[in-house]
């Protein structure tokens, strides 16, 4: 059981009121959206991707790339915005990433990304909102 506390906390009822059913299933239930189902996969404008759960800036568009996986992919998060844990679900070991401010599940990080980091943060688009640069 995760006993870590986060700066932003909400009751289950508050999360359900704030999030759509799909967002709740992904962000609070550690689910995964269908690949290719989120419009943010195709977002190419300059700007910032933030957590739907708490508005924390997570990823800058300049570090977004097309991975061919069906989910928005990024080289690296905004420093301090994402935390990682070991995910042993589905009979495999992966690195889960979640929002450092509210603890919401975002996706997973893999070591098969392009330079400069070699990382691929594979993120559920429903967990993100996009704010274009001014």
Helices (H) and strands (E) counted in the chain, each on its own, are 2, 9
- Please name which of 30, 112, 32, 29 lies closest in space to residue 68, comparing C-alpha atoms: 112
- The verdict on whether 122 is a catalytic residue reads yes
Out of 38, 54, 99, 122, pick the active-site residue: 122
Pairing of strands 94-99, 82-87: antiparallel
Alpha helices in 1-132 (DSSP H): 12-18, 21-27
Question: Rounded to a whole number, what is the distance in angstroms from the first to the last CA of the chain?
Answer: 42
What residues are labeled active site?
Answer: 122
């Amino acid at each position: 059981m995760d006993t870590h506390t986060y700066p932003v906390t909400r009751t289950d009822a508050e999360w359900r009121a704030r999030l759509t059913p799909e967002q709740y299933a992904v962000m609070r239930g550690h689910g995964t959206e269908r690949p290719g189902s989120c419009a943010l996969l195709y977002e190419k404008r300059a700007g910032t991707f933030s957590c739907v759960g708490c508005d924390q800036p997570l990823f800058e568009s300049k570090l977004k790339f097309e991975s061919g996986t069906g989910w928005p992919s990024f080289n690296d998060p905004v420093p301090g915005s994402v935390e990682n844990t070991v995910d042993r679900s589905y009979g495999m070991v992966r690195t889960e990433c979640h929002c450092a401010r509210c603890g919401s599940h975002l996706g997973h990080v893999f070591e098969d990304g392009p330079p400069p980091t070699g990382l691929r943060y594979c993120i559920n688009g429903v967990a993100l909102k996009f704010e274009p640069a001014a």
